[in-house]
Amino acid sequence: MGAGMLAADKLERANINPATGLATDYLNHFNEVVMLLEMLPAMPECAEDVLDWEPADYESHFENSTFSEKQLAVQAYRAAPVRLRCHLERLVEQINDAVLSAQEAIRAAPDPAVVSVQVAETATHRIKPLIAMASGVIHGHVDAKALAHEGDEAQAEIDALFA
């Protein structure tokens, strides 16, 4: 990724992918709410925690976290290839939309138990695959087809990153 603060060995020690400049710790923000959504059928009282969840962009997540290398994570994110960050941000937007929809379903239901199976299935079948794709981006496993609509320039940047 670079030298100095962004040297590969420093990034690796901080659990930041040195090739992409991205950290999987960000995905914990989503994994926590998915776990709560999946627990709803057995524990409807988790609805309160689900409703307390709020979206957080990458930088905000780290700035407000206890991650030991949060400043490095933000620096590396800012230095990451723009196309890669944009791809991750599009996936995060889809995750946020799905969680916010699940929250709305819970709020609209007379009792969380009424929609618990539906939102648990949403978590399992819609949100988890999006998180897996976001993890792929963080680890540098980007499907060229996913970036196809961004043109040849985007693909060239991704190819150069992993060459």
Rounded to two decimals, what is the model's pTM? 0.85
87 is a domain residue: yes
137 is a domain residue: yes
13 is a domain residue: no
CA–CA dist 140, 18 (Å, integer): 10
Residue 152 vs residue 94, higher pLDDT:
94
Is residue 26 within 8 Å of 61, Cβ to Cβ? yes
Rg (CA), the chain: 17
What's the rounded mean pLDDT across residues 132-150? Answer: 78
109 is a domain residue: yes
146 is a domain residue: yes
100 is a domain residue: yes
154 is a domain residue: yes
* Residue 126: domain span: 24-56+81-161
Total number of domains in the chain: 1
Encode pLDDT of 97-138 as tens digits: 999 999 999 999 998 888 999 999 999 999 999 999 999 999
Encode pLDDT of 7-36 as tens digits: 999 999 999 999 999 999 999 999 999 999
37 is a domain residue: yes
Is residue 103 within 8 Å of 40, Cβ to Cβ? no
